[in-house]
Amino acid sequence: MLTTLKSYFDELRIRLQVVQRTQQEIDRRFSPDFNLFNVFYLDENRLSYFIKILLDDKAKHGQQALFREVLFNMIGTNVSDNIKHIFNELVLDKGVKVDVEVSTTSARRMDILIHNDKCAVMIENKPWAADQKNQIKDYVDYLRGRFNTRFYVIYLSGSAPQPSDGSISQEELQKLTQDGHFTTLMYRPHLTEWARMCAEKSESEKMRSIFLDFEAFINSSFQQQ
């Protein structure tokens, strides 16, 4: 009996050593569990800036407006023709700017603004923080005053399916949505879907790797909604 148990544990130890050596070889060749997004602390502002760089056709990733186009195409199946024209213009126009922390007349700062002189898409990035009082309402008032009806608001959320009542009233939000100027995107599943599609379409191997790491970071940091 003791001999049988010893043989069993000896074999188990050998198998475990094989597994450990195999895992070490996988780690050495592919580093599957190493992700820079988990090494560097990413708060809301850093995440906004990272997304801004990806959406900026003049950034060093070299993929021009591809990632912006992928985002707009992902949203575009459910928007009006007017918004599709805005998306199209903000992909094709070489003079488009992608800015972060854009000041409004009410002394607020919009997280990301994709715009030219005639139209804009604003992204309010809320991975963790709660809305401030009248925040989305003030953004909408500013966008409407600057771009008339040629604007679109993306509420990018880590957990909330829509802005709070204190940020914009339900009546105003419903009208904004019905008029085709607003949508909510969740980090999961929408931003992971965007990252995956960008990885598939990018011609840069480095950018493919970055997007796959970004997708893995989102999956490990946010719950599926």
pLDDT tens per residue across span 158-180: 998 999 999 999 999 999 999 99
Q: Which amino acid is at 100?
A: V
Structure tokens at 165: 């009542």
Q: From CA 161, how far away is CA 117, in angstroms rounded?
A: 31
Condensed to tens digits (0 to 9), the pLDDT of residues 3-62 reads 676 676 667 677 777 667 766 665 555 455 655 677 677 889 999 999 999 999 999 999
- Whether residue 144 contacts residue 151, with contact meaning beta carbons closer than 8 Å, is answered with yes
Residue with token string 């575009």: 76
Average pLDDT estimate for 58-69 = 96
- Average pLDDT for the chain: 89
CB-based contacts of 166-169 (< 8 A; 24+ apart in sequence) = 166/131, 166/132, 166/133, 166/134, 167/131, 167/132, 167/133, 167/134, 167/135, 167/136, 167/137, 168/134, 168/135, 168/136, 168/137, 168/140, 169/137
